[in-house]
């Protein structure tokens, strides 16, 4: 069961990935074993994931007038993303990212925002002109916070659901987006947001009950449901006054790039499902993504995703 269309407001990057035995330490030079190029940016990845999950998806973003722009837009269109609401700014570069991946699948990423940093409320409003009740707007933090806040307010006023993936982690109160229905974070991002909100973090480790309590407090402060992803440990959630957790399938990770974006895209595409079922599907898709090398190229299609069967998920009032 899915809601209406998915609209992703976010970044579009040209990704170059380098594979190596171990990530370099400061001052260290390492030799890469391979390199590859692909469309990227959290926004573009999440749009591709929403399409892979079965949703009609439109991208709102900004590219430059360089050679990379056409390549990234063509790649998005090839994956089924509607790019009619992507604007072009002359005299600037399309966003770029360099991704380093080690043999355990962990990564380090350097991003040059380029045109993404020029996305504003006017571009957002134009792209959201046709959004309506039942649609889902997805936001992240690789475009200016002002654009995110303007888009969230407009989408909510027109009856759409708003998902905010607060990544990269916000650092100041001005980065927060309040007109949201669902917050999606990892543990680091959750602690950053709790600090901004003045909520004391007492988390002792992944999956701890303290983590669920902290998530619930942040969710209440933002008047939204919330999910905290925990990688191979699955995720915890707070929805409708109840906290719970779901597992992730056990897999051998080769590249964690875009796994979180896969989760967000699946959550958006299946916003009509109950939270537990929706999150188990998204967690399974994210786990499958880490078994494939690459960013957007690792995002699995719905027919290949098998959620972990769970007879009972603990849900407790918080």
- Catalytic amino acids? 261
| Cα–Cα dist 117/23, whole Å | 28
| β partners of residue 156 | none
Structure token pair of residue 80? 């089924």
Position of tokens 């619930």?
A: 216
10 Å CB burial of residue 174 (0-12, 13-18, 19+) is: exposed
Q: Which of 35, 1, 33, 9 is nearest to 295 (CA)?
A: 35
Smallest CA-to-CA distance from 66 within 95, 86, 41 is with 95
Helix (H, G, I), strand (E, B) or coil at 293: coil
Token pair in block for residue 38: 């692909």
Tokens 């957007």, residue located:
296
- Alpha-carbon separation of residue 154 from 117, 121, 131, 210 (angstroms): 20, 10, 9, 34
The single residue listed with the structure tokens 């299609």 is 301
Give the residue carrying structure tokens 């809601």.
3
Asked if 164 and 147 touch (Cβ cutoff 8 Å), the reply is no
């Amino acid at each position: 069961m899915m809601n209406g269309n998915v609209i992703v407001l976010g970044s579009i990057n040209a990704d170059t990935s380098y594979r190596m035995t171990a990530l370099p330490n400061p001052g260290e030079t390492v030799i890469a074993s391979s390199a590859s190029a692909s469309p990227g940016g959290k926004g573009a990845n999440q749009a591709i994931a929403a399409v892979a999950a079965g949703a009609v998806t439109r991208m709102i973003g900004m590219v430059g007038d360089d050679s990379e722009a056409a390549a990234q837009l063509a790649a998005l269109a090839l994956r089924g993303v509607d790019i009619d609401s992507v604007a072009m700014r002359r005299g600037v570069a399309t966003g770029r990212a360099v991704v380093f991946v080690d043999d355990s699948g962990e990564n380090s990423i350097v991003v040059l925002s380029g045109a993404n940093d020029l996305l504003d409320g006017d571009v957002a409003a134009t792209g959201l002109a046709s959004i309506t009740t039942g649609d889902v707007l997805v936001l992240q933090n690789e475009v200016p916070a002002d654009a995110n806040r303007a888009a969230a307010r407009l989408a909510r006023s027109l009856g759409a659901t708003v998902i905010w993936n607060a990544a990269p982690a916000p650092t100041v109160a001005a980065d927060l987006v309040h007109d949201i229905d669902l917050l999606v974070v990892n543990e680091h991002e959750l602690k950053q947001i709790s600090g901004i909100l003045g909520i004391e973090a007492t988390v002792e480790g992944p999956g701890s009950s303290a983590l669920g309590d902290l998530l619930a407090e942040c969710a209440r402060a933002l008047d939204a449901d919330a999910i905290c992803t925990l990688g191979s440990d699955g995720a915890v959630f707070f929805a409708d006054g109840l906290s719970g957790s779901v597992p992730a399938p056990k897999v051998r990770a080769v590249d964690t790039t875009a796994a979180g974006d896969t989760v967000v895209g699946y959550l958006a595409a299946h916003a009509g499902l109950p939270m537990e079922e929706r999150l188990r599907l998204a967690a399974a898709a994210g786990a499958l993504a880490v078994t494939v090398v690459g960013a957007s190229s690792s995002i699995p299609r719905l027919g290949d995703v098998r959620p972990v069967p769970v007879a009972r998920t603990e849900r407790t009032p918080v």
